Protein backbone atom coordinates (compact mmCIF):
# COMPACT_ATOMS: atom_id res chain seq x y z
CA UNK A 1 0.00 0.00 0.00
CA UNK A 2 1.24 3.44 -0.91
CA UNK A 3 1.32 5.78 2.07
CA UNK A 4 1.54 8.78 -0.22
CA UNK A 5 -1.11 7.53 -2.65
CA UNK A 6 -3.67 6.94 0.12
CA UNK A 7 -3.77 10.64 0.99
CA UNK A 8 -6.15 12.77 -1.06
CA UNK A 9 -4.77 15.99 -2.56
CA UNK A 10 -6.42 19.11 -1.08
CA UNK A 11 -7.30 21.76 -3.63
CA UNK A 12 -6.83 25.27 -2.16
CA UNK A 13 -9.21 28.14 -2.85
CA UNK A 14 -8.44 30.01 -6.05
CA UNK A 15 -7.43 26.79 -7.83
CA UNK A 16 -9.72 24.84 -10.14
CA UNK A 17 -9.06 21.21 -10.97
CA UNK A 18 -10.94 19.66 -13.88
CA UNK A 19 -10.85 16.05 -14.96
CA UNK A 20 -11.91 14.61 -18.31
CA UNK A 21 -11.13 10.91 -18.50
CA UNK A 22 -7.50 10.43 -17.48
CA UNK A 23 -6.53 14.06 -18.23
CA UNK A 24 -6.31 16.39 -15.22
CA UNK A 25 -6.01 20.16 -15.69
CA UNK A 26 -5.16 22.58 -12.88
CA UNK A 27 -5.70 26.35 -13.19
CA UNK A 28 -4.42 28.80 -10.62
CA UNK A 29 -3.20 32.35 -10.17
CA UNK A 30 0.18 31.68 -11.83
CA UNK A 31 -1.05 29.68 -14.83
CA UNK A 32 -2.39 26.37 -16.06
CA UNK A 33 -0.81 22.89 -16.05
CA UNK A 34 -2.08 19.47 -17.07
CA UNK A 35 -1.17 15.84 -16.44
CA UNK A 36 -2.48 12.60 -17.92
CA UNK A 37 -2.99 9.89 -15.31
CA UNK A 38 -1.52 6.49 -16.21
CA UNK A 39 -4.02 3.77 -17.11
CA UNK A 40 -3.03 1.86 -13.93
CA UNK A 41 -4.78 4.44 -11.69
CA UNK A 42 -8.03 6.40 -11.63
CA UNK A 43 -8.76 9.80 -10.15
CA UNK A 44 -11.90 11.04 -8.47
CA UNK A 45 -12.76 14.65 -7.68
CA UNK A 46 -14.78 15.02 -4.47
CA UNK A 47 -15.40 18.64 -3.48
CA UNK A 48 -12.03 20.18 -2.62
CA UNK A 49 -10.23 16.81 -2.54
CA UNK A 50 -8.80 14.75 -5.40
CA UNK A 51 -8.27 11.07 -4.59
CA UNK A 52 -6.31 8.56 -6.66
CA UNK A 53 -6.93 4.83 -6.48
CA UNK A 54 -5.15 1.95 -8.23
CA UNK A 55 -7.09 -0.07 -10.81
CA UNK A 56 -5.61 -3.43 -9.76
CA UNK A 57 -3.41 -4.75 -6.97
CA UNK A 58 -0.35 -5.40 -9.12
CA UNK A 59 3.10 -3.84 -8.84
CA UNK A 60 2.57 -1.40 -11.73
CA UNK A 61 -0.61 0.04 -10.25
CA UNK A 62 0.97 0.41 -6.81
CA UNK A 63 4.03 2.19 -8.22
CA UNK A 64 1.93 4.56 -10.36
CA UNK A 65 -0.40 5.32 -7.43
CA UNK A 66 2.00 7.37 -5.32
CA UNK A 67 3.69 8.94 -8.35
CA UNK A 68 0.37 10.17 -9.78
CA UNK A 69 -0.69 11.69 -6.46
CA UNK A 70 2.65 13.50 -6.17
CA UNK A 71 2.40 14.80 -9.75
CA UNK A 72 -1.06 16.27 -9.07
CA UNK A 73 0.19 17.84 -5.81
CA UNK A 74 3.17 19.34 -7.73
CA UNK A 75 0.81 20.84 -10.33
CA UNK A 76 -1.24 22.50 -7.59
CA UNK A 77 1.89 23.76 -5.79
CA UNK A 78 3.24 25.11 -9.09
CA UNK A 79 0.15 27.13 -10.06
CA UNK A 80 -0.14 28.54 -6.51
CA UNK A 81 3.48 29.30 -5.53
CA UNK A 82 5.75 28.24 -8.39
CA UNK A 83 9.18 26.61 -8.14
CA UNK A 84 12.72 27.97 -8.24
CA UNK A 85 16.25 26.60 -8.19
CA UNK A 86 19.28 28.67 -7.27
CA UNK A 87 22.70 28.06 -8.80
CA UNK A 88 26.08 29.41 -7.72
CA UNK A 89 29.20 29.88 -9.84
CA UNK A 90 32.51 29.09 -8.11
CA UNK A 91 35.78 29.84 -9.85
CA UNK A 92 38.02 32.71 -10.86
CA UNK A 93 36.43 34.60 -13.76
CA UNK A 94 33.24 32.52 -13.70
CA UNK A 95 30.25 34.80 -14.20
CA UNK A 96 26.80 34.97 -15.74
CA UNK A 97 24.69 37.68 -17.33
CA UNK A 98 21.39 37.93 -19.17
CA UNK A 99 21.24 39.25 -22.74
CA UNK A 100 17.55 39.41 -23.55
CA UNK A 101 16.20 35.86 -23.10
CA UNK A 102 19.68 34.31 -23.35
CA UNK A 103 21.85 33.42 -20.34
CA UNK A 104 25.52 34.02 -21.20
CA UNK A 105 27.98 32.10 -19.01
CA UNK A 106 31.72 32.56 -18.77
CA UNK A 107 32.99 29.29 -17.35
CA UNK A 108 36.69 29.22 -18.16
CA UNK A 109 36.27 28.02 -21.75
CA UNK A 110 37.73 29.86 -24.73
CA UNK A 111 34.16 30.84 -25.65
CA UNK A 112 31.05 32.03 -23.84
CA UNK A 113 28.33 29.46 -23.21
CA UNK A 114 24.86 30.63 -24.26
CA UNK A 115 21.70 29.08 -22.81
CA UNK A 116 18.31 30.00 -24.30
CA UNK A 117 15.58 30.40 -21.68
CA UNK A 118 12.97 27.65 -22.24
CA UNK A 119 9.33 28.63 -22.78
CA UNK A 120 7.44 29.16 -19.52
CA UNK A 121 10.57 29.67 -17.38
CA UNK A 122 12.28 32.78 -16.08
CA UNK A 123 16.01 33.09 -15.42
CA UNK A 124 17.37 35.91 -13.27
CA UNK A 125 20.96 36.85 -12.49
CA UNK A 126 20.99 38.75 -9.18
CA UNK A 127 24.80 38.82 -8.90
CA UNK A 128 27.30 37.72 -11.56
CA UNK A 129 27.81 34.49 -9.59
CA UNK A 130 24.17 33.69 -8.72
CA UNK A 131 21.50 32.37 -11.10
CA UNK A 132 17.83 31.76 -10.26
CA UNK A 133 15.67 29.57 -12.50
CA UNK A 134 11.93 29.83 -11.73
CA UNK A 135 8.63 28.73 -13.21
CA UNK A 136 5.42 26.83 -12.49
CA UNK A 137 6.48 23.42 -13.84
CA UNK A 138 8.71 21.61 -11.33
CA UNK A 139 10.16 19.24 -13.94
CA UNK A 140 11.02 22.04 -16.39
CA UNK A 141 12.69 24.15 -13.67
CA UNK A 142 14.80 21.21 -12.50
CA UNK A 143 15.73 20.22 -16.06
CA UNK A 144 16.84 23.75 -16.99
CA UNK A 145 18.92 24.06 -13.79
CA UNK A 146 20.51 20.66 -14.46
CA UNK A 147 21.41 21.68 -18.04
CA UNK A 148 23.06 24.88 -16.81
CA UNK A 149 24.97 22.91 -14.15
CA UNK A 150 26.04 20.36 -16.77
CA UNK A 151 28.13 22.94 -18.66
CA UNK A 152 30.70 22.91 -15.84
CA UNK A 153 29.98 20.49 -13.00
CA UNK A 154 31.79 21.12 -9.70
CA UNK A 155 35.13 19.34 -9.71
CA UNK A 156 36.52 17.77 -6.52
CA UNK A 157 40.07 19.23 -6.48
CA UNK A 158 39.48 23.00 -6.49
CA UNK A 159 35.68 23.05 -6.17
CA UNK A 160 35.25 25.12 -9.33
CA UNK A 161 32.05 24.88 -11.34
CA UNK A 162 28.31 25.49 -11.25
CA UNK A 163 26.59 24.23 -8.07
CA UNK A 164 23.11 24.21 -6.67
CA UNK A 165 22.79 26.58 -3.73
CA UNK A 166 23.81 24.74 -0.58
CA UNK A 167 25.35 21.81 -2.49
CA UNK A 168 28.35 20.32 -0.75
CA UNK A 169 31.27 19.34 -2.97
CA UNK A 170 33.45 16.70 -1.42
CA UNK A 171 37.03 17.82 -1.89
CA UNK A 172 39.92 15.52 -2.73
CA UNK A 173 43.54 15.94 -1.82
CA UNK A 174 45.86 16.69 -4.75
CA UNK A 175 48.84 14.56 -5.62
CA UNK A 176 51.95 14.71 -3.40
CA UNK A 177 55.55 15.32 -4.38
Domain 3-80 CATH superfamily: Ribosomal protein L6 (3.90.930.12)
Mean predicted confidence (pLDDT) in 145-156: 94
pLDDT in tens, 112-142: 999 999 999 999 999 999 999 999 999 999 9
Q: According to the model, what pLDDT value does residue 75 have?
A: 93
Residues 6+ apart with CB under 8 A from 68: 5, 35, 37, 38, 41, 43, 52
pLDDT higher than threshold 90 for residue 76: yes
pLDDT at 45 over 90: no
Q: What is the largest CA-CA distance in the chain?
A: 71
Report, as an integer, the average pLDDT of 84-93. 94
> Would you place residue 94 in the very low, low, confident or very high pLDDT band (cuts 50, 70, 90)?
very high
Tell me where in the chain the CATH 3.90.930.12 domain(s) lie.
3-80, 83-164
pLDDT exceeding 90 applies to what percent of the chain?
65
d(CA 10, CA 7): 9
Give percent above pLDDT 70 in the chain. Answer: 99
Asked if residue 2 has pLDDT above 80, the reply is no
Topology adopted by domain 83-164: Outer Surface Protein A; domain 3 (3.90.930)
Model confidence pTM above 0.85: yes
> Band of the pLDDT at 177, cuts 50, 70, 90?
confident
User: Using H for helix, E for strand and C for coil, what is the string for 90-150?
Assistant: ECCCCEEEEECCEEEEECCCCCCEEEECCCCEEEEEEECCEEEEEECCHHHHHHHHHHHHH
Indicate the pLDDT class of residue 60, thresholds 50, 70 and 90: confident
Amino acid sequence: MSRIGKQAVTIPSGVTLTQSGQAVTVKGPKGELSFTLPSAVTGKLDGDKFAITPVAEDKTSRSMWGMSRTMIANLIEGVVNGYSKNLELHGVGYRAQMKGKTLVLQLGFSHDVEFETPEGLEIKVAKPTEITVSGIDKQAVGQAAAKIREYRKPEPYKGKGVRYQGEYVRRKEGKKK
